[in-house]
Structure 1
Amino acid sequence: MANVRAGWLVLALLFGALFSGPALAFQTRIVSIPSAAMHRAFDATVVLPADYARGKAARFPVIYVLHGSGGNYADWTSNTHIGKLADRYHVILVMPDGGHESWYIDSPYDPRSRYETYVGTEVVSYVDTHFRTLATRETRAITGLSMGGFGALRIALDRRDTFGAAGSISGAVDPRNCEDEPGISDVFGDPARHASFWNSNAIVESARAFEHAHIALTIDCGVSDFFVQSNRMLHEKLVELGVPHDYAERPGGHDWNYWSNSIRYQVLFFSTSFQRGGWHPQTA
């Protein structure tokens, strides 16, 4: 009789495992975020960690992840497993739409292109209002790939009270190398007539601005990437200036194979930065 009861117990446990609901995992939401600066709304992807649904009081750090030229808000979730990182590190991930060729700047030559204000101010305000975030610079980071890497560093430098950490993946840190890219002169102006604007916005020329920005900084690029030389130049300038930062070159080129690997290291870096600022994921 004891063996029979044990058999039924095993079967019950097996059926329970088979038919019980799946374990909680991250949630992906598409939201529409309005821009007063551009008089329209844009979609954005928000990934909430599993912990978000377990409690109604816990608040979470936020990492903003920007797409590259020609991309959109869905690129990261369509091409990588970035959502799993929200669960692993207990963070909210936000992927806003930055337009096809905005370079995430407020263009003085196209008044309709105000993407630095949109991403750096309006998106942040919306996310802090609509989700349970830890709304401090110490628990807020921004990164991106290619054009988005440029945009992330530019926005972080211009909004030091907003972002305490920033990164760049395969970043176009010197847009002067991209003069022939279709659409770039619409936002930067003619390279010859507006050279001063191009120069002042190039991240490689803004290295000194990081000296007193107190931004936790991580930069990486593939060794076969056409942007690797400009990234090395930025790294060397930061070293000369004594600016603390992480820098890495890994095998790979300018493609999703590289970016999907790189983002794992960057989210780990940001999580560590948040913890140094006093946040502990076990309390989330």
Structure 2
Amino acid sequence: MIALLDCQFHSYTLDLDVSMKAILPEHRLNSHKELPVLYLLHGLSDNESKWMRYTSIERYVEDRELAVIMPSADRSFYTNMEHGPSYFTYIAEEVPEMAGEFFQLSRSREHTYIAGLSMGGYGAVKTALTFPGQFAAAASLSGSVDIEDRRSSFPSDFNHIFGNRPIKGSGDDLYHLAGQLSEGEKANLRLYLACGTEDHNYQANTHFYSYASQAGLNITFESGEGGHAWGYWDQQIQRVLEFFEI
């Protein structure tokens, strides 16, 4: 049996009251042993409830020794915004700190994972590439892995998030982050990329996989029939759990 918890607290990074959902094994609620943890990020226009409402993630982790933490990050692209709050710092630093204290979660690299879909796929890979020593593995499902390519699709959002600052070659550019990893970091961090062939992000994912592979990253890419849709992501989150070996 598992427990689904709604957690509301004040973020000092954002200076906002925020929400996140947590899935925990019920038999571990009174245990003092730290749990492995998966941080699961939502897509654009979603919130912390969407994974629960549109996939069977609760059922998929029922027999696993795993906590799943689902924070909300609005339409931030998991970025410290030029004209808004510092959502990347919130997701990458404050959420693990707060969730770890609330639920006795592991902070060791070997037991920490991150994944997301679409905007959240970008956020998951960005977080793992920025802090490779904190994650055993990361996964992106239909992710916006070429963030510069998405600028014209969301001009208003990107104006608030990035302003006039350049994306290419910055800490918001997955290509730049991948190129900055040391040989040891490349070996230790496992990446999983999946995108359906009917998805508008498919070409961007194939290009990033090719670049990351040539750069020596430990990356797996799975493609196949599927669009930018919850049916595909419900199937793929099961594959992610298998890939993570948790």
* TM-score between the two structures when normalised by the length of structure 2: 0.91
Equivalent position to 1:162, from 129, 134, 145: 134
- In 2, Cα distance between equivalents of 1:164 and 1:65: 14
Structure label with greater radius of gyration: 1
**2:44 equivalent in structure 1:** 69
5+ residue gaps in structure 2? none
**2:175 equivalent in structure 1:** 204
**1:261 equivalent in structure 2:** 235
- In 2, Cα distance between equivalents of 1:61 and 1:222: 29
* Secondary structure of 2:61 counterpart: helix
- In 1, Cα distance between equivalents of 2:157 and 2:234: 26
Equivalent position to 1:60, from 35, 52, 75: 35
**1:79 equivalent in structure 2:** 54
Aligned length: 240
Q: Does 1:175 align with 2:147?
A: yes
Deviation of 1:209 after TM superposition, in Å, equals: 3.0
Q: Does 1:237 align with 2:188?
A: no
Equivalent position to 1:124, from 63, 80, 96: 96
Q: Does 1:30 align with 2:30?
A: no
**1:97 equivalent in structure 2:** 72
Percent identity over paired residues: 27
* Secondary structure of 2:199 counterpart: coil
- In 2, Cα distance between equivalents of 1:210 and 1:146: 23
Distance 1:238 1:197, change over 3 A: closer
- In 2, Cα distance between equivalents of 1:117 and 1:235: 26
Question: 1:175-203, CA deviations, whole angstroms, 9 ceiling, x for partnerless residues?
Answer: 2222231412210124xxx3x33453232
**2:16 equivalent in structure 1:** 40
Deviation of 1:142 after TM superposition, in Å, equals: 0.7
Identify which range, 61-70 or 25-34, moves more after superposition.
Answer: 25-34
User: Is the strand fraction higher in 1 or 2?
Assistant: 2
Deviation of 1:161 after TM superposition, in Å, equals: 3.1
Equivalent position to 1:216, from 174, 186, 190: 190
Q: Write the letter of the residue equivalent to 1:197.
A: I
5+ residue gaps in structure 1? 1-24, 273-284
CA RMSD of aligned residues (A): 1.7
Q: Write the letter of the residue equivalent to 1:113.
A: P
Deviation of 1:144 after TM superposition, in Å, equals: 0.4
